[in-house]
């Protein structure tokens, strides 16, 4: 199995400026999911930017997710494919109730295996390991690799594993995770599209080499 790519954007303040950077990335054909993070302070401010970006992403054949807004029903009204929930608790329940089965609901911020297993018992579409914390720091990469291997070997709910840099994609390609997440660092590269193409090359090469071993 060759993992697909899940992209996590930096906070978007200017949609048109970010669109110019995103279009070449989407044109690679390597993006399965884009999780767009907006700097909007509330749901009203979110509507315009999210709608503007959603069509571009979907026309490129990718699914667009956003972080769970205050009103989960906004996601369906805007035609967005789904949401990411930052940890277990009532907000996950709210997202599942409001959006399933028609929209994607995924979860991250899982600090313990028990949290992941409990979340996996809900009607969710993925669990994510290793994503940046609210303060921008990352869990130890070795822990992300271990959690992704553990999850992928036991559970059927897809796993998204976050790569902290380009070199990290090769290790994650061996875990069995269905998706490898590339974060804001991708969009900070001199040529994000070329960086994504290189990540895809490395993942494909590593996955095929392992399959043939």
Which residue, 107, 59, 53, is CA-closest to 83?
107
212 pLDDT band, cuts 50/70/90, is low
User: In the predicted model, is pLDDT for residue 206 greater than 90?
Assistant: no
Nearest of 66, 34, 32, 37 to residue 178 by alpha carbon = 32
What's the pLDDT score for residue 64? Answer: 98
Dihedral sign for Cα 10, 12, 18, 22, please. positive
Percent of the chain with pLDDT over 70: 98
Q: What is the H or E stretch that residue 180 is in?
A: strand 179-182
Q: Which long-range contacts (CB under 8 A, 24 or more apart) does 65-68 make?
A: 65/33, 65/34, 65/35, 65/36, 65/104, 65/106, 66/35, 66/36, 66/37, 66/38, 67/35, 67/37, 68/94, 68/95
Does the pLDDT of residue 211 top 70, yes or no?
no
Question: What confidence tens digit (pLDDT) does each residue in 83-136 have?
Answer: 999 999 999 999 999 999 999 999 999 999 999 999 999 999 999 999 999 888
Residue 213 binned pLDDT confidence (cut-offs 50, 70, 90): low
What is the structure's pLDDT at 17? Answer: 95
Residue 153 has pLDDT above 80, yes or no: yes
- Round to whole Å and give the CA distance between 104 and 199: 25
- Mean pLDDT on 22-45: 95
For the segment 47-75, the average pLDDT, to the nearest whole number, is: 95
Other Cβ atoms less than 10 A from the Cβ of 40: the count is 18
Whether domain 4-211 has CATH 3.90.1640.30: no
What is the spatial distance between Cα 122 and Cα 177, in angstroms, rounded to a whole number? Answer: 19
Q: What is the pLDDT of residues 180-194, one digit of tens each?
A: 999 999 999 999 999
**DSSP type of residue 155:** -
pTM of the predicted model, to two decimals? 0.95
- Cβ within 8 Å of residue 211, ≥6 positions away: none
pLDDT of residue 169: 96
In the prediction, which pLDDT does 119 show? 95
Give the model's pLDDT for residue 82. 98
Q: Average pLDDT in the 161-169 region?
A: 96
Compute the CA torsion angle 133, 162, 109, 34 (nearest 10 deg): 100
pLDDT of residue 12: 96
Bridge partners (DSSP) listed for residue 7? 34, 182
């Amino acid at each position: 199995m060759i993992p697909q790519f899940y992209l996590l954007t930096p906070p978007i303040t200017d949609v048109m400026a970010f669109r110019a950077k995103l279009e070449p990335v989407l044109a690679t054909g390597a993006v399965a999911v884009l999780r767009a993070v907006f700097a909007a302070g509330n749901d009203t401010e979110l509507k315009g930017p999210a709608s503007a970006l959603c069509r571009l992403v979907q026309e490129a054949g990718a699914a667009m997710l956003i972080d769970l807004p205050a009103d989960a029903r906004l996601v369906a009204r805007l035609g967005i494919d789904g949401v990411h929930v930052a940890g277990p608790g009532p907000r996950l329940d709210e997202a599942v109730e409001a959006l399933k089965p028609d929209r994607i609901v995924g979860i991250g911020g899982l600090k313990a295996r028990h949290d992941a297993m409990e979340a996996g018992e809900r009607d969710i579409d993925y669990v994510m390991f290793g994503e940046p914390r609210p303060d921008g720091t990352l869990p130890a990469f070795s822990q992300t690799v271990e959690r992704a291997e553990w999850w992928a070997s036991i559970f059927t709910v897809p796993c998204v594993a976050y790569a902290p840099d380009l070199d990290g994609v090769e290790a994650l390609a061996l875990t069995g995770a269905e998706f490898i997440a590339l974060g804001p660092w991708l969009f900070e590269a001199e040529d994000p599209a070329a960086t994504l193409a290189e990540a895809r090359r490395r993942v494909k090469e590593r996955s095929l080499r392992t399959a043939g071993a």
